[in-house]
Amino acid sequence: MILNIQMQTILIRHMTDFELIRRQLNERLEPLHSLDIRHNHCAQAAVALILRETPGDLSVLIIKRAERAGDPWSGHLALPGGRAQASDPDLLFTAARETYEEIGLELLDNMGSRNRFLGKLPLLAPKNPQLPETEITPFVALAPEQVILSINHEVADAFWVSVDDLKREGPSSFYSMQFGEIVRNWPAYPSSGGPIWGITERILTNFLSLLD
């Protein structure tokens, strides 16, 4: 028993941070089950939390949505993704399709393999009653080795955020909105692109809680 523990300790010491994190995610993410789109239900959406290995670190891809009149998420920092369409076979396909349409990143190979997807995070819904009733399924995926982004009109910018920075800083910033004479603050992760708040902050918090 002691020998087994020593062997595991030696293996862990020789793992990269990326390998350790991937091992933890494989053990702790929800499996890729129950992905059906319920068309007689409320609106459903799917997003992709995309990870890329960088020297000595791991990074998450964040997009900034374009400013658009009538869009409740206009200008927000977010994860690529969007609403399920009737032609989508399931929610994982929704996340992959929307990611490709928005930033040109292909998460499915030519044969439709889903090997880049590690699992999913808990289902979320907006807390603001003024936002459309939507169920959002976040998936965790690995970026291709060659990352070339091609941003469409729905996205103003895209950038990578260090997982180490997210863990170290936590939601230590805030995002403010004024409603008449009342100012409301939401917890946010600081980033080079501005505060990451709302649904995306909640998804990142759930993701980071899986990592030691």
pTM > 0.85: yes
Residue 208 included in any domain: no
6 in helix, strand or coil?
A: helix
Give the CATH number, domain containing residue 157. 3.90.79.10
Phi, then psi, of 41 in degrees rounded to 5 = -100, -170
Residue 181 included in any domain: no
Q: Which residue has the higher pLDDT, 58 or 176?
A: 58
Residue 19 included in any domain: yes
- Which whole number is the average pLDDT over 84-99? 96
Residue 30's beta-bridge partner residues?
Answer: 120
Residue 158 included in any domain: yes
- Confidence at residue 10, expressed as pLDDT on a 0 to 100 scale: 44
Identify the band that residue 5 occupies on the pLDDT scale cut at 50, 70 and 90.
Answer: low
Residue 66 included in any domain: yes
- Confidence at residue 12, expressed as pLDDT on a 0 to 100 scale: 47
> Can you count the helices (H) and strands (E) in the chain?
5, 10
Residue 90 included in any domain: yes
Residue 27 included in any domain: yes
- Say which DSSP state 131 is in: S
Domain containing 109 equals 2-165
Q: How far is CA 21 from CA 9, 30, 69, 131, in A?
A: 15, 15, 39, 34
- Contacts of residue 82, defined as CB under 8 A and 6 or more positions apart, other chains included, come to 45, 46, 47, 94, 98, 101, 102
Number of independent structural domains in the chain? 1
Structural contact between residues 94 and 81, judged by C-beta atoms closer than 8 angstroms: yes
Comparing C-alpha atoms, which of 45, 19, 51, 23 is closest to residue 140? 51
Residue 19 has pLDDT above 90, yes or no: no
